[in-house]
């Protein structure tokens, strides 16, 4: 994009919040930082794993240097064993919006942005009893055991390859007696409709993104991701939300002698590409009215 087009874009940006979404390794965080400097804005995290304190490198959280230049919110503020949901995120973001709407909200968790701009399903808290039941059923019968208990409407709309989504749907049904799809039809009003912000997408083509993913994970290793994994090995809990950081289980497996470092890198790269594919699908199907700024350079 030429300097003229870039300047025109910056002139069009009003004081509305900027929402910036993109798949992992798309360069959205770097772009958010550049925009924040030029527009003098704070940055707010919209990534479900960057909220945890124990994975700065592996989740590509902003560096401490970046955090000194621009004020960042909702990054690394949760302990690894804490539960954190889209509801928690919306409540914390709402508090920030009360005093400052001059924000850049950036991340790759499509569900966060959809809940923010379209509304959140107000599902009751899941009890420990139901959580333990779902965990036992998953361990005994695998993901298919959970899928067999779901209603057809939920099955038609759920990503069956995403265990966390399946577990969530199963727990909601067995806690409330209502399917996840029924709850989703009772959505609360949006906190920040698309019309009240600048909704932006960074979405590189697949070939370009695949190259970046492999290079980025290798760079993470050079930056100290393995040392970061060693610190997490002592209290490693594969069932915690923080352990779902892509590359975490692969590096832990390497430290346990179960994988070579090259195999760990390869497996993590594959998992990242699969995740990026799901992100791109969400963007394509749920964010059709967002503005694509993939070619914007600052």
Identify the CA nearest to 77 among candidates 101, 48, 100.
48
3-state secondary structure of 55: coil
- What is the C-alpha separation between 296 and 298, in angstroms, rounded? 7
Query: Is there a domain that residue 297 lies in?
Result: no
Does 243 share its domain with 149? no
Query: Is there a domain that residue 228 lies in?
Result: yes
- Which pLDDT score is estimated for 92? 97
- What is the C-alpha separation between 246 and 136, in angstroms, rounded? 24
Beta bridge partners of residue 291, listed in sequence order: 200
Does 85 share its domain with 231? no
Query: Is there a domain that residue 17 lies in?
Result: yes
Does 102 share its domain with 43? yes
Does 94 share its domain with 230? no
297: tokens are 């350079």
Query: Is there a domain that residue 136 lies in?
Result: yes
Identify the burial level of 227 via C-beta atoms within 10 angstroms of its C-beta, where 0-12 means exposed, 13-18 middle and 19 or more buried: exposed
Query: Is there a domain that residue 20 lies in?
Result: yes
- Residues 95-106 as b or e (16 or more Cβ within 10 Å = b): ebbeeeeebbbb
pTM exceeds 0.85 for this model: no
> Rounded to the nearest 5°, which phi and psi values hold at 145?
-65, -35
pLDDT, averaged in runs of 10, over the chain (298 residues):
56 87 96 95 98 98 97 98 92 96 96 93 83 90 88 82 85 87 76 94 94 94 97 94 96 98 96 96 93 82
- Which pLDDT score is estimated for 54? 97
Percent helix / strand / coil, the chain, rounded to 5 = 55, 10, 35
Can you list the positions of beta strands (E) in 89-203? 103-107, 198-201
Number of domains present in the structure of the chain: 3
Does 195 share its domain with 72? yes
Query: Is there a domain that residue 114 lies in?
Result: yes
- Which pLDDT score is estimated for 98? 95
| Residue 239 lies in domain | 206-280
- What is the C-alpha separation between 171 and 132, in angstroms, rounded? 10
């Amino acid at each position: 994009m030429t300097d003229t087009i870039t300047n025109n874009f910056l002139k069009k940006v009003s004081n509305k919040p900027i929402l910036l979404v993109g798949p992992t390794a798309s360069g959205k965080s770097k772009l958010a930082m550049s925009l924040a400097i030029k527009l003098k804005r704070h940055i707010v995290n919209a990534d479900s794993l960057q909220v945890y304190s124990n994975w700065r490198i592996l989740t590509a959280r902003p560096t401490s240097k970046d955090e000194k230049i621009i004020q960042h919110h909702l990054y690394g503020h949760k302990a690894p064993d804490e539960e954190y949901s889209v509801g928690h995120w919306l409540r914390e973001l709402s508090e920030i919006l009360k005093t400052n709407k001059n924000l850049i909200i950036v991340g790759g968790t499509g569900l966060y942005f959809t809940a923010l701009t379209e509304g959140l399903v107000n599902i009751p808290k899941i009890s420990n009893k139901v959580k333990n039941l779902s965990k036992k059923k998953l361990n005994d019968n695998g993901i298919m055991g959970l899928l067999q208990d779901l209603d057809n409407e939920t099955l038609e709309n759920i990503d069956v390859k995403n265990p966390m989504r399946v577990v969530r749907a199963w727990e909601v049904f067995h806690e409330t007696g209502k399917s996840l799809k029924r709850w989703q039809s009772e959505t609360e009003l949006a906190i920040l409709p698309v019309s009240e912000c600048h909704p932006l997408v960074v979405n590189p083509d697949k070939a370009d993104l695949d190259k970046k993913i492999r290079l980025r994970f290798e760079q993470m290793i050079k930056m100290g991701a393995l040392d970061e994994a060693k610190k997490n090995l002592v209290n490693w809990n594969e069932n915690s939300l923080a352990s779902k950081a892509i590359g975490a289980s692969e590096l832990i497996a390497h430290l346990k002698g179960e994988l070579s470092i090259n195999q760990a890198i390869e497996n993590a790269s594959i998992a990242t590409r699969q995740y990026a594919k799901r992100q791109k699908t969400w963007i394509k199907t749920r964010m059709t009215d967002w503005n694509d700024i993939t070619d914007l350079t600052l």
